[in-house]
Structure 1
Amino acid sequence: MNLWAQALVEDNEFRRQLIDQVVQTVSSETLDPDDISLTVKAFMIADLPNELIELLEKIILDDNSVFNDHRNLQNLLILTAIKADRTRVMEYINRLDKYDVPDIANIAINNELFEEAFAIFKKIDVNKSAMQVLIDHVKNLDRAYEFAERCNDPAVWSLLGHAQLDANMVKDAIDSFIKADDPTNYMDVVKVASKNSMF
């Protein structure tokens, strides 16, 4: 680690060449997980997020790499992209499939990457959580309705019904609750309908 620390200091005129060389050879010539771990740690300590992304892409996305399915490296790649280059997050979410889904989705939500969180939940068919993101964070009931129609899941229709009721869309809410086969909220429906003079 001391050698890495010296090599990756900012005023080392050969730092960029070293990084390029490491990235170029890392997946084809490195099979030892300890070497990979040490290299990744060195890039993290040197606070080189963009270079770390380059390194992790080469390790994980290279077809010949033995580390393609490494869960921790996939998590680290997505988390580093959330921190350093948000434009890449959606691509990683769609390409990778071994990362910790709920944790990454929640971190995406906390960093206001709502489309990315929705894509994560949708990818693994956790429709209720995907709908929750559309309702609570994207705040688009038209899109939520389209999603409910596509997945046609009673729990999703019920969530949509609640959101529509909160938005005083009583007729739409009733339709959604019918599609959910969920009569439990009839008192709320009556209350909102009465308040809006629908009865």
Structure 2
Amino acid sequence: MRMRRIGAGATLLACLAAPSHADGTLPELSPEELIELAKSTYRGESCWWERVEEDIGEIRSWEISFRYDYEEEDGPDRAVRLYQLPCFYGAYNFSSIWFMETELDGLGPVHFATPELDIDYADDESAVVEKLTVLGFTAVSSLFNAWYDEDTQTISSFSKWRGIADAASSGTWTFHDGRFVLTEYQADASYDGEINPVTVYKATRP
């Protein structure tokens, strides 16, 4: 019997057994178990847990089949279980947190590489961007207005910087070799009433 390896602090679920099914698929956590895991992993106030429990039907899960790059093409498929939970509810942004389980890494939270931007404006209204610089990359635990596309195996997000979304940022993370990697990120930093994003990062390979 294989035991689930989970993130630090999520001890309440450490004793839940997670053997693979006969066909190699991974068992699915119940929404109640997943909320318990999320609360143990994220102990702060970033998520509105009472609201999350009310919206338990909004929890999503998917199973992904893949092979690592070093494995033979005709070898057996490996299974990944991906989960999405609601977290924060705002006026025009909704955030979610993500968990993933693999045979090798066990069960734990997903963090997403994100560019750290430095923006200089040419006017007091922040309508004209004089300079936009990528200072580096950080990792975030939640994404705004995010969704998973099974056909492309991508997670995408769209964060509105204000309600009319003329200033916003969006990202795409593609499943590759057992992980989600950032493949594109766009930012529309000008509060000018128009939708005009620029690409600040794009992967050199798909």
TM-score range, shorter-chain basis?
under 0.3
From the two aligned structures, give the one with the greater helix fraction.
1
TM-score (norm 1): 0.28
Work out which of the two has the higher radius of gyration on C-alpha atoms and give 1 or 2.
Answer: 1
TM-score (norm 2): 0.27
From the two aligned structures, give the one with the greater strand fraction.
2
Which is bigger in relative contact order (C-alpha 8 A, separation at least 6)? Answer: 2
